[in-house]
Amino acid sequence: MNKHIIESFNIKEETDKIQPIGSGHINDTYAITLKGHVSPSYILQRINHNIFPNIEKLSDNIYRATNHLEENGNGQYQVMKLVNAIDGKLYHQSADGYYWRLFTHIPNSFSFDLAPSNNFAAEAGKAFGWFVRTLSDLNEPPLYEVIPGFHSLGLRITQLQLALEENIADRAKGCKQELDFYLSRCSEMLEFDDLIGTPEIPLRVTHNDTKINNVLFSSSGKAISIIDLDTVMPGVVHYDFGDAIRTIAANALEDETRLELVGINTELYKAFTEGFLGEMNSLLTSKERYYLPKSPRMMAYIMGIRFLADYLRGDNYYKVKHSDHNIQRARNQMVLIMDMEKKVKVMNF
Ligand code: ADP
Ligand code: GN1
Ligand code: MG
Protein backbone atom coordinates (compact mmCIF):
# COMPACT_ATOMS: atom_id res chain seq x y z
CA MET A 1 0.00 0.00 0.00
CA ASN A 2 1.45 3.37 -0.87
CA LYS A 3 0.58 7.02 -0.54
CA HIS A 4 -0.38 7.31 -4.24
CA ILE A 5 -3.69 5.65 -3.43
CA ILE A 6 -4.55 8.48 -1.04
CA GLU A 7 -3.49 11.07 -3.60
CA SER A 8 -6.27 9.75 -5.84
CA PHE A 9 -8.83 11.19 -3.41
CA ASN A 10 -9.93 14.75 -2.95
CA ILE A 11 -7.76 15.75 0.00
CA LYS A 12 -5.28 18.59 0.03
CA GLU A 13 -2.90 17.73 2.88
CA GLU A 14 0.01 15.34 2.72
CA THR A 15 -0.16 11.91 4.37
CA ASP A 16 2.14 11.14 7.27
CA LYS A 17 1.15 7.69 8.61
CA ILE A 18 -0.83 4.73 7.24
CA GLN A 19 -1.63 2.21 10.00
CA PRO A 20 -3.62 -1.05 9.73
CA ILE A 21 -6.66 -1.01 12.04
CA GLY A 22 -9.53 -3.35 12.99
CA SER A 23 -10.21 -7.06 13.16
CA GLY A 24 -12.58 -7.58 10.22
CA HIS A 25 -12.62 -10.76 8.15
CA ILE A 26 -13.17 -9.30 4.68
CA ASN A 27 -11.68 -5.88 3.82
CA ASP A 28 -8.31 -4.29 4.68
CA THR A 29 -8.61 -1.13 6.76
CA TYR A 30 -6.05 1.61 7.49
CA ALA A 31 -6.10 4.75 9.64
CA ILE A 32 -4.59 7.73 7.79
CA THR A 33 -2.83 10.47 9.73
CA LEU A 34 -1.92 13.67 7.89
CA LYS A 35 1.32 15.64 8.28
CA GLY A 36 1.16 17.94 11.31
CA HIS A 37 -1.71 15.99 12.96
CA VAL A 38 -1.51 13.66 15.93
CA SER A 39 -4.65 11.61 15.32
CA PRO A 40 -6.06 10.08 12.13
CA SER A 41 -8.25 12.11 9.80
CA TYR A 42 -9.37 9.37 7.40
CA ILE A 43 -10.05 5.66 7.15
CA LEU A 44 -8.84 4.00 3.96
CA GLN A 45 -10.25 0.62 2.93
CA ARG A 46 -9.36 -1.86 0.26
CA ILE A 47 -12.66 -3.48 -0.63
CA ASN A 48 -12.74 -7.23 -1.17
CA HIS A 49 -14.25 -7.21 -4.66
CA ASN A 50 -14.53 -10.99 -4.82
CA ILE A 51 -17.12 -10.71 -2.07
CA PHE A 52 -18.56 -7.33 -3.15
CA PRO A 53 -18.43 -7.51 -6.95
CA ASN A 54 -20.60 -4.45 -7.68
CA ILE A 55 -18.55 -1.64 -6.11
CA GLU A 56 -20.63 1.06 -7.86
CA LYS A 57 -23.89 -0.11 -6.28
CA LEU A 58 -22.25 -0.94 -2.95
CA SER A 59 -20.94 2.63 -2.77
CA ASP A 60 -24.32 4.06 -3.79
CA ASN A 61 -25.99 2.16 -0.90
CA ILE A 62 -23.51 3.62 1.59
CA TYR A 63 -23.91 7.10 0.11
CA ARG A 64 -27.71 6.98 0.36
CA ALA A 65 -27.73 5.48 3.86
CA THR A 66 -25.18 7.92 5.30
CA ASN A 67 -26.97 10.94 3.79
CA HIS A 68 -30.28 9.80 5.20
CA LEU A 69 -28.80 9.16 8.65
CA GLU A 70 -27.14 12.59 8.61
CA GLU A 71 -30.33 14.38 7.54
CA ASN A 72 -32.84 12.46 9.66
CA GLY A 73 -30.90 11.14 12.63
CA ASN A 74 -31.40 14.24 14.84
CA GLY A 75 -27.66 14.49 15.32
CA GLN A 76 -27.88 11.66 17.89
CA TYR A 77 -24.82 9.97 16.38
CA GLN A 78 -21.99 11.06 14.12
CA VAL A 79 -22.12 9.78 10.56
CA MET A 80 -18.93 9.06 8.63
CA LYS A 81 -18.81 10.28 5.03
CA LEU A 82 -17.33 8.85 1.89
CA VAL A 83 -14.69 11.15 0.38
CA ASN A 84 -14.88 11.54 -3.39
CA ALA A 85 -12.02 10.41 -5.57
CA ILE A 86 -10.46 13.05 -7.84
CA ASP A 87 -12.55 11.74 -10.76
CA GLY A 88 -15.73 12.31 -8.70
CA LYS A 89 -16.40 8.65 -7.97
CA LEU A 90 -16.97 7.30 -4.45
CA TYR A 91 -14.05 4.89 -4.85
CA HIS A 92 -10.77 4.60 -6.69
CA GLN A 93 -9.55 1.64 -8.73
CA SER A 94 -5.78 1.25 -8.60
CA ALA A 95 -3.65 0.04 -11.51
CA ASP A 96 -3.49 -3.47 -10.01
CA GLY A 97 -7.30 -3.73 -10.14
CA TYR A 98 -8.09 -3.26 -6.45
CA TYR A 99 -10.85 -0.92 -5.25
CA TRP A 100 -10.24 1.63 -2.51
CA ARG A 101 -12.42 4.08 -0.61
CA LEU A 102 -11.84 6.78 1.93
CA PHE A 103 -14.09 7.68 4.89
CA THR A 104 -13.88 10.60 7.26
CA HIS A 105 -12.50 9.41 10.59
CA ILE A 106 -14.73 9.81 13.66
CA PRO A 107 -12.42 11.59 16.12
CA ASN A 108 -11.71 10.35 19.65
CA SER A 109 -13.48 7.08 19.02
CA PHE A 110 -12.78 3.57 20.28
CA SER A 111 -14.00 0.13 19.26
CA PHE A 112 -14.18 -3.14 21.20
CA ASP A 113 -14.51 -6.81 20.26
CA LEU A 114 -16.49 -7.57 23.46
CA ALA A 115 -18.72 -5.33 25.59
CA PRO A 116 -16.69 -4.00 28.55
CA SER A 117 -19.84 -3.50 30.71
CA ASN A 118 -23.67 -3.42 30.68
CA ASN A 119 -23.53 0.26 29.87
CA PHE A 120 -21.66 -0.43 26.59
CA ALA A 121 -24.26 -3.06 25.66
CA ALA A 122 -27.13 -0.65 26.35
CA GLU A 123 -25.40 2.08 24.35
CA ALA A 124 -24.84 -0.29 21.43
CA GLY A 125 -28.50 -1.38 21.56
CA LYS A 126 -29.67 2.21 21.42
CA ALA A 127 -27.33 3.03 18.54
CA PHE A 128 -28.37 0.04 16.39
CA GLY A 129 -32.03 0.75 17.26
CA TRP A 130 -31.55 4.36 16.11
CA PHE A 131 -29.94 3.09 12.92
CA VAL A 132 -32.87 0.84 11.90
CA ARG A 133 -35.50 3.37 13.04
CA THR A 134 -33.89 6.27 11.18
CA LEU A 135 -33.51 4.28 7.97
CA SER A 136 -37.09 2.97 8.15
CA ASP A 137 -38.30 5.82 5.93
CA LEU A 138 -35.49 5.80 3.39
CA ASN A 139 -36.88 6.81 -0.01
CA GLU A 140 -37.50 4.42 -2.89
CA PRO A 141 -35.95 2.60 -4.69
CA PRO A 142 -34.93 -0.09 -2.20
CA LEU A 143 -31.22 -0.39 -1.51
CA TYR A 144 -29.30 -2.79 -3.72
CA GLU A 145 -28.99 -6.33 -2.38
CA VAL A 146 -25.20 -6.31 -2.07
CA ILE A 147 -24.88 -10.04 -1.41
CA PRO A 148 -28.05 -11.84 -2.54
CA GLY A 149 -29.58 -14.00 0.22
CA PHE A 150 -26.92 -12.79 2.67
CA HIS A 151 -28.88 -13.89 5.77
CA SER A 152 -31.14 -16.41 4.05
CA LEU A 153 -31.01 -19.50 6.15
CA GLY A 154 -32.30 -21.68 3.30
CA LEU A 155 -29.46 -20.50 1.06
CA ARG A 156 -26.82 -20.91 3.77
CA ILE A 157 -27.97 -24.49 4.47
CA THR A 158 -27.84 -25.29 0.75
CA GLN A 159 -24.33 -23.84 0.59
CA LEU A 160 -23.25 -25.97 3.54
CA GLN A 161 -24.71 -29.10 1.93
CA LEU A 162 -22.94 -28.29 -1.34
CA ALA A 163 -19.64 -27.72 0.45
CA LEU A 164 -20.11 -31.08 2.17
CA GLU A 165 -20.89 -32.91 -1.08
CA GLU A 166 -17.95 -31.36 -2.92
CA ASN A 167 -15.60 -31.77 0.05
CA ILE A 168 -12.89 -30.08 -2.02
CA ALA A 169 -10.49 -29.60 0.88
CA ASP A 170 -11.06 -33.18 2.07
CA ARG A 171 -12.05 -31.96 5.53
CA ALA A 172 -15.53 -33.50 5.91
CA LYS A 173 -14.33 -36.51 7.87
CA GLY A 174 -12.89 -34.21 10.54
CA CYS A 175 -16.12 -32.39 11.30
CA LYS A 176 -18.81 -35.01 11.65
CA GLN A 177 -19.97 -33.81 15.08
CA GLU A 178 -20.23 -30.23 13.91
CA LEU A 179 -22.19 -31.24 10.80
CA ASP A 180 -24.56 -33.34 12.92
CA PHE A 181 -25.10 -30.46 15.30
CA TYR A 182 -25.97 -27.93 12.62
CA LEU A 183 -27.90 -30.20 10.23
CA SER A 184 -30.05 -31.64 13.05
CA ARG A 185 -31.33 -28.14 13.84
CA CYS A 186 -32.09 -26.96 10.32
CA SER A 187 -35.86 -27.59 10.11
CA GLU A 188 -36.50 -25.86 13.46
CA MET A 189 -34.47 -22.85 12.31
CA LEU A 190 -36.13 -22.68 8.89
CA GLU A 191 -39.56 -21.98 10.41
CA PHE A 192 -38.74 -18.26 10.54
CA ASP A 193 -37.34 -18.01 6.99
CA ASP A 194 -40.83 -18.44 5.50
CA LEU A 195 -42.19 -15.42 7.40
CA ILE A 196 -39.62 -12.98 6.04
CA GLY A 197 -41.12 -10.23 3.90
CA THR A 198 -44.73 -10.87 5.03
CA PRO A 199 -46.67 -7.82 6.37
CA GLU A 200 -46.01 -8.93 9.93
CA ILE A 201 -42.26 -9.46 9.42
CA PRO A 202 -41.61 -6.65 6.93
CA LEU A 203 -38.41 -5.91 5.09
CA ARG A 204 -36.73 -2.81 6.48
CA VAL A 205 -33.31 -1.30 5.91
CA THR A 206 -30.91 -3.14 8.17
CA HIS A 207 -27.18 -3.00 8.87
CA ASN A 208 -26.65 -6.77 8.66
CA ASP A 209 -23.26 -6.84 10.40
CA THR A 210 -24.06 -5.60 13.90
CA LYS A 211 -20.92 -6.79 15.67
CA ILE A 212 -19.86 -4.67 18.63
CA ASN A 213 -16.72 -3.54 16.79
CA ASN A 214 -18.98 -1.78 14.31
CA VAL A 215 -20.05 0.67 17.02
CA LEU A 216 -17.66 3.49 17.91
CA PHE A 217 -17.59 4.70 21.52
CA SER A 218 -16.31 7.85 23.20
CA SER A 219 -13.78 7.62 26.04
CA SER A 220 -16.68 7.92 28.50
CA GLY A 221 -18.48 4.90 27.02
CA LYS A 222 -21.13 6.67 24.92
CA ALA A 223 -21.88 5.14 21.53
CA ILE A 224 -21.03 7.86 19.01
CA SER A 225 -21.24 6.25 15.57
CA ILE A 226 -22.25 3.15 13.62
CA ILE A 227 -19.72 2.10 10.99
CA ASP A 228 -18.98 -0.74 8.51
CA LEU A 229 -21.90 -0.13 6.18
CA ASP A 230 -21.02 -2.59 3.40
CA THR A 231 -24.02 -4.78 4.04
CA VAL A 232 -26.65 -2.09 4.65
CA MET A 233 -29.56 -3.33 2.51
CA PRO A 234 -33.10 -4.70 2.84
CA GLY A 235 -33.45 -7.11 5.75
CA VAL A 236 -35.58 -7.89 8.79
CA VAL A 237 -34.99 -6.36 12.20
CA HIS A 238 -34.15 -9.83 13.56
CA TYR A 239 -30.94 -9.88 11.54
CA ASP A 240 -29.63 -6.83 13.37
CA PHE A 241 -30.90 -7.72 16.83
CA GLY A 242 -29.80 -11.35 16.59
CA ASP A 243 -26.37 -10.75 15.08
CA ALA A 244 -25.63 -8.06 17.67
CA ILE A 245 -26.28 -10.41 20.59
CA ARG A 246 -23.67 -12.88 19.27
CA THR A 247 -20.86 -10.47 20.09
CA ILE A 248 -22.42 -7.81 22.35
CA ALA A 249 -23.88 -10.20 24.94
CA ALA A 250 -21.16 -12.84 24.53
CA ASN A 251 -18.77 -13.78 27.33
CA ALA A 252 -15.98 -14.59 24.89
CA LEU A 253 -14.68 -13.75 21.42
CA GLU A 254 -16.16 -15.43 18.35
CA ASP A 255 -13.02 -17.56 17.93
CA GLU A 256 -12.38 -18.37 21.60
CA THR A 257 -11.22 -21.99 21.78
CA ARG A 258 -11.56 -22.42 25.55
CA LEU A 259 -15.16 -23.38 25.07
CA GLU A 260 -15.96 -23.36 28.78
CA LEU A 261 -15.67 -19.56 28.55
CA VAL A 262 -18.22 -19.27 25.73
CA GLY A 263 -21.79 -18.30 26.56
CA ILE A 264 -24.39 -15.57 26.71
CA ASN A 265 -24.30 -13.06 29.52
CA THR A 266 -27.97 -12.41 30.29
CA GLU A 267 -27.25 -9.07 31.94
CA LEU A 268 -25.54 -7.78 28.79
CA TYR A 269 -28.44 -9.24 26.81
CA LYS A 270 -31.01 -7.36 28.87
CA ALA A 271 -29.03 -4.12 28.65
CA PHE A 272 -28.72 -4.35 24.85
CA THR A 273 -32.41 -5.26 24.51
CA GLU A 274 -33.52 -2.31 26.59
CA GLY A 275 -31.44 0.10 24.52
CA PHE A 276 -32.63 -1.39 21.22
CA LEU A 277 -36.34 -1.53 22.14
CA GLY A 278 -36.20 1.99 23.53
CA GLU A 279 -35.59 3.16 19.96
CA MET A 280 -37.51 0.54 17.98
CA ASN A 281 -40.48 -0.56 20.09
CA SER A 282 -43.11 1.75 18.59
CA LEU A 283 -42.26 0.53 15.08
CA LEU A 284 -42.39 -3.21 15.72
CA THR A 285 -45.35 -5.44 14.85
CA SER A 286 -46.36 -7.94 17.52
CA LYS A 287 -44.95 -10.78 15.44
CA GLU A 288 -41.63 -8.98 14.97
CA ARG A 289 -41.45 -8.59 18.73
CA TYR A 290 -42.43 -12.21 19.31
CA TYR A 291 -39.57 -13.48 17.15
CA LEU A 292 -36.90 -11.05 18.39
CA PRO A 293 -35.72 -13.16 21.38
CA LYS A 294 -35.36 -16.17 19.07
CA SER A 295 -33.22 -14.29 16.56
CA PRO A 296 -29.84 -14.50 18.39
CA ARG A 297 -29.96 -18.30 18.11
CA MET A 298 -30.84 -18.06 14.44
CA MET A 299 -28.03 -15.62 13.68
CA ALA A 300 -25.43 -17.63 15.61
CA TYR A 301 -26.66 -20.64 13.63
CA ILE A 302 -26.25 -18.82 10.31
CA MET A 303 -22.74 -17.67 11.25
CA GLY A 304 -21.85 -21.15 12.49
CA ILE A 305 -22.86 -22.83 9.24
CA ARG A 306 -21.08 -20.15 7.19
CA PHE A 307 -17.84 -20.79 9.14
CA LEU A 308 -18.30 -24.54 8.76
CA ALA A 309 -19.00 -24.30 5.01
CA ASP A 310 -15.91 -22.13 4.57
CA TYR A 311 -13.84 -24.68 6.49
CA LEU A 312 -15.11 -27.43 4.17
CA ARG A 313 -14.29 -25.31 1.10
CA GLY A 314 -10.73 -24.79 2.30
CA ASP A 315 -11.09 -21.22 3.72
CA ASN A 316 -11.81 -19.20 0.61
CA TYR A 317 -14.13 -16.57 2.16
CA TYR A 318 -13.09 -15.42 5.64
CA LYS A 319 -9.58 -14.36 6.59
CA VAL A 320 -8.05 -17.08 8.77
CA LYS A 321 -4.94 -17.11 10.94
CA HIS A 322 -4.48 -20.90 10.68
CA SER A 323 -6.16 -23.88 9.03
CA ASP A 324 -8.43 -24.67 12.01
CA HIS A 325 -9.67 -21.13 12.48
CA ASN A 326 -13.02 -21.59 10.72
CA ILE A 327 -13.86 -24.87 12.44
CA GLN A 328 -12.98 -23.28 15.78
CA ARG A 329 -15.34 -20.40 15.02
CA ALA A 330 -18.07 -22.90 14.05
CA ARG A 331 -17.57 -24.81 17.36
CA ASN A 332 -17.66 -21.59 19.32
CA GLN A 333 -21.04 -20.67 17.78
CA MET A 334 -22.33 -24.18 18.63
CA VAL A 335 -21.59 -23.61 22.30
CA LEU A 336 -23.21 -20.19 22.13
CA ILE A 337 -26.34 -21.74 20.57
CA MET A 338 -26.49 -24.48 23.23
CA ASP A 339 -26.13 -21.89 25.98
CA MET A 340 -28.97 -19.86 24.46
CA GLU A 341 -31.10 -23.01 24.23
CA LYS A 342 -30.67 -23.38 27.99
CA LYS A 343 -31.49 -19.73 28.62
CA VAL A 344 -34.60 -19.47 26.41
CA LYS A 345 -36.84 -18.46 29.31
CA VAL A 346 -34.52 -15.75 30.60
CA MET A 347 -34.06 -14.35 27.10
CA ASN A 348 -37.78 -14.11 26.31
CA PHE A 349 -39.59 -10.76 26.54
P1 ADP B 1 -14.07 -4.33 8.69
O2 ADP B 1 -15.03 -4.53 7.56
O3 ADP B 1 -12.75 -4.87 8.38
O4 ADP B 1 -14.64 -4.80 9.99
P5 ADP B 1 -14.56 -1.61 9.58
O6 ADP B 1 -15.21 -0.67 8.63
O7 ADP B 1 -15.42 -2.15 10.65
O8 ADP B 1 -13.85 -2.77 8.77
O9 ADP B 1 -13.32 -0.88 10.24
C10 ADP B 1 -12.39 -1.58 11.06
C11 ADP B 1 -12.08 -0.74 12.29
O12 ADP B 1 -11.56 0.55 11.89
C13 ADP B 1 -13.27 -0.42 13.18
O14 ADP B 1 -13.58 -1.42 14.12
C15 ADP B 1 -12.82 0.89 13.85
O16 ADP B 1 -11.95 0.61 14.91
C17 ADP B 1 -12.03 1.57 12.75
N18 ADP B 1 -12.86 2.51 11.96
C19 ADP B 1 -13.53 2.21 10.81
N20 ADP B 1 -14.17 3.29 10.33
C21 ADP B 1 -13.92 4.30 11.18
C22 ADP B 1 -14.28 5.70 11.22
N23 ADP B 1 -15.02 6.26 10.26
N24 ADP B 1 -13.81 6.44 12.24
C25 ADP B 1 -13.03 5.90 13.21
N26 ADP B 1 -12.65 4.60 13.23
C27 ADP B 1 -13.07 3.81 12.23
C1 GN1 C 1 -17.68 -10.69 8.33
O2 GN1 C 1 -15.46 -8.62 8.10
P3 GN1 C 1 -16.48 -8.45 9.16
O4 GN1 C 1 -15.97 -8.92 10.46
O5 GN1 C 1 -17.04 -7.06 9.22
C6 GN1 C 1 -18.97 -11.02 7.59
C7 GN1 C 1 -20.14 -11.02 8.57
C8 GN1 C 1 -19.87 -12.02 9.68
C9 GN1 C 1 -18.54 -11.68 10.34
C10 GN1 C 1 -18.20 -12.74 11.35
C11 GN1 C 1 -19.60 -9.42 4.24
O12 GN1 C 1 -17.75 -9.37 8.80
O13 GN1 C 1 -21.32 -11.42 7.90
O14 GN1 C 1 -20.88 -11.95 10.65
O15 GN1 C 1 -17.49 -11.59 9.40
N16 GN1 C 1 -19.19 -10.05 6.53
C17 GN1 C 1 -19.44 -10.47 5.27
O18 GN1 C 1 -17.30 -12.23 12.26
O19 GN1 C 1 -19.53 -11.65 4.97
MG1 MG D 1 -16.15 -4.02 11.11
Q: Comparing C-alpha atoms, which of 280, 306, 303 is closest to residue 292?
A: 280
Q: How far is the CA of 250 from the centre of ligand 2 (A)?
A: 16
Q: What angle do helix axes 237-248 and 118-134 make, rounded to 10 degrees? A: 160
Q: How far is the CA of 168 from the centre of ligand 3 (A)?
A: 29
Q: Enumerate residues 6+ apart whose C-beta is below 8 A from 303.
A: 243, 246, 254, 329, 333
Q: What number does the ligand 2 atom closest to the CA of 317 have?
A: 19
Q: Would you say 211 and 231 are in contact if contact means Cβ atoms under 8 Å apart? A: no
Q: Which ligand is nearest to the CA of 320?
A: 2
> CB within 6 Å of ligand 1 — which residues?
21-22, 24, 26-27, 29, 43, 80, 103, 105-106, 109, 111, 213-214, 216, 227-228
Q: How far is the CA of 161 from the centre of ligand 2 (A)?
A: 21
pLDDT tens digits in sequence order for the chain, 349 residues long: 677 899 999 998 999 999 999 989 999 999 999 999 999 999 999 999 999 999 999 999 999 999 999 999 999 999 999 999 999 999 999 999 999 999 999 999 999 999 999 999 999 999 999 999 999 999 999 999 999 999 999 999 999 999 999 999 999 999 999 999 999 999 989 989 999 999 999 999 999 999 999 999 999 999 999 999 999 999 999 999 999 999 999 999 999 999 999 999 999 999 999 999 999 999 999 999 999 999 999 999 999 999 999 999 999 999 999 999 999 999 999 999 999 999 999 999 9
Our answer on whether the CB atom of 303 is closer than 6 Å to any ligand 2 atom is yes
Residue 23's pLDDT is what?
Answer: 87
Q: How far is the CA of 101 from the centre of ligand 1 (A)?
A: 12
**Which residue ranges form the domains of the chain, and what is each CATH number?**
3-104 (3.30.200.20), 118-347 (3.90.1200.10)
* Phi, psi for residue 218 in degrees, rounded to 5: -85, 175
